[in-house]
Structure 1
Amino acid sequence: MDKSKTLIALNSLNSNTLMETLNIEFTDVGNDYLVAKMPVNSKVYQPYGILHGGATAALAETVGSCASAFFIDRKTQIVKGIELSINHLKSKKEGVVFGVAKPIHKGRTTHLWEIKIIDEEDNLISICKLTNIVLDKKVEK
C-alpha cells in the first residue's frame, strides 16, 4: 500500500462534506488502522467553549467508516454506520484531536471498530465503538 497515495485519495473525498466543514484530514494509514485529525477551535465548540461531543462523534464515525471501506469491494459494496457509542473522558479547548480507528471485528456483513480520540499529547479524550454494515450496491436500471 502506498500511504501517501491512499491519504491523498481519502482526503480528496472530503470536498463539500461535513469532513470539510470540520477540517477533518486523514493523516496516517496502515494494514490495521486509520488516523484522522481535527482542529479544536470555535467551529467545533459547544457553548462552554470546549470541544463539542457531536464533533468528536463525527470524527469517530468518519475515521471508522472510512477504515471499513478498505476491507470491502467498493465497486459492488458500500459501508454504512449503524451504531456509534462514545464516552467523553476529558474536555479539550484548543489544539488538535486525532481519531485512531482499529478493528475489533471484520466480518462479511458487519465491522466493529474501536476509535480512540486522543490529543497531541496522547491524552485520551473519548473512546468510541462503531458498528458498520456492509451492503451490496443497488444496481440502477
Structure 2
Amino acid sequence: MNKEETLQRLNSMNKNTLMETLNIEFVAVGDDSLTAKMPVNSNVHQPFGILHGGATAAIAETVGSVASFLFLKDKEKVVKGIELTINHLKSVKEGFVFATAKPIHKGRTTHLWEVKVTNEKDELISICKLTNIILDK
C-alpha cells in the first residue's frame, strides 16, 4: 500500500470517534513517523481563547497510538496507550497544529514515542512522550 492509500485508510477509521469530533486528520506518513493535523478554533479552546491542553494531549496520543498500530508487523496485536506525559511550551489561538510521532523504542511488548506538536510556523507548541503496550487481540 502506498502512502496516500495508507493515509486514506487511517483517516477512514476516524468516523464516529474523538478524532472525528476534533477534526484530526492524518496528513503524512514516513518510514518511521506519522503526522496528523488538527484545527485550532473555539471547539478546542479553553476559556481564555487558546488551545486546550486536553485537545493537544488527544492529538498526541492519537498520532502515537496509530503510529504503533501502523508500524506493527503482527496485525494480530492491539495497541493501548498506558502513559502520556506532555509539556506545553507555547499557546495557539487559531490555525492548525501538527503532531508528529517518531519512535524512541519499538519493542515486542512496548513502544515509546516522542510526539512533537507544532504550529503552522513549525514552532514547538508541546512535546510529549507516549508509552504503548502491545497485546494480543
TM band (smaller chain)? over 0.9
Give the aligned partner of residue 60 of structure 2. 60
1:107 aligns with 2:97: no
1:81-100 superposed matches below 5 A: 81-100=81-100
In 1, distance between residues paired with 2:101 and 2:82? 16
Q: 2: CA distance between counterparts of 1:14 and 1:21?
A: 9
Q: Map 1:118-137 onto structure 2 (within 5 A).
A: 118-137=118-137
Q: Distance in 1 between matches of 2:44 and 2:89?
A: 17
DSSP-derived class of the 1:70 partner: helix
SS at structure 1 position matched to 2:49: coil
Runs (4 or more) in structure 1 with deviation over 6 Å come to none
| Cα distance in 2 for residues equivalent to 1:124 and 1:71 | 25
Structure 1 residue aligned with 2:21: 21
Work out the percentage of aligned pairs sharing the same amino acid: 74
Gaps of 5+ in 1: none
SS of the aligned residue for 2:23 comes to coil
Please list the CA deviations of residues 56-96 of structure 1 after superposition, one character each: whole Å capped at 9, or x if unmatched.
0000000000000023222x110000000000000000000
What's the TM-score once normalised by structure 2's chain length? 0.98
- Structure 2 gap segments, 5+ residues each: none
Q: Is the 8 A contact 2:14 2:20 kept in 1?
A: yes
The alpha-carbon deviation at position 126 of structure 1 amounts to 0.2
From the CA coordinates, give the structure whose radius of gyration is larger.
1
Structural RMSD (CA): 0.7
> In the TM superposition, what whole-angstrom CA distance separates every residue of 1:94-127 from its partner, at most 9, and x where no partner exists?
0000000000000000000000000110110000
Aligned length: 136
Q: Which residue in 1 is equivalent to 2:4?
A: 4
